[in-house]
Amino acid sequence: MLHAPQLTRQFEELFKKNYSKLYYVALDWVENEESAKDLVNDLFAELWKQYERLQDENVEGYLFQSLRNRCINYLKHQRVEQEYRERMLAEKQLVIDENPEIHEARLKVIEQTLEQMNPQTRRVFEQCFFEGKRYQEVADLMEVSVSTIHKRMTQAFAAFRTAFGCDKKY
């Protein structure tokens, strides 16, 4: 069993040895520098929480496999977000062409849904969706992780799906 300073030193060496390699693997997968950095940083943060228990395992193999899984999950989530944006664009087109009374009713549903949201979720949604800020920008502004922003946006989208009676889960 290693003492805390030795464990910390060993972890730092692992980080220095593998960060760049992992970053470039993630960048190859997600094709976005900030997202690649976030994925690798989150991976090391999670590893640190379990490091004492995992230190005798093949940690480097664990890192690369875990990063691969995180990248796949990230890409799946990006696909869902893209599909949602496409649906929203199609809905906007319908709104332009629709009856003004129906338009007003839908706006009222949106306002009510926003009012019922948790204040943090609403703030994240408004900044990302209405102000067009990137998740990283909002995360920095709110001093939270990008994954927290992802979770808040997922909650907001779920609230709107429920409010508009969309039964299909994405």
CB pairs under 8 A, 24+ apart, for 57-65? 59/14, 60/14, 60/18, 63/18, 63/22, 64/22, 64/25
What burial class does residue 63 get, using C-beta atoms within 10 Å of its C-beta: 0-12 exposed, 13-18 middle, 19+ buried?
buried
- Domains in the chain (CATH in brackets) are 4-73 (1.10.1740.10), 98-163 (1.10.10.10)
Torsion (CA) 160, 163, 165, 167 in degrees, nearest 10: 50
Written as tens digits, the pLDDT of the chain (170 aa) is: 455 888 889 999 999 999 999 999 999 999 999 999 999 999 999 999 888 887 767 888 999 999 999 999 999 999 988 888 888 888 777 667 667 787 788 889 999 999 999 999 999 999 998 888 999 999 999 999 999 999 999 999 999 999 988 755 54
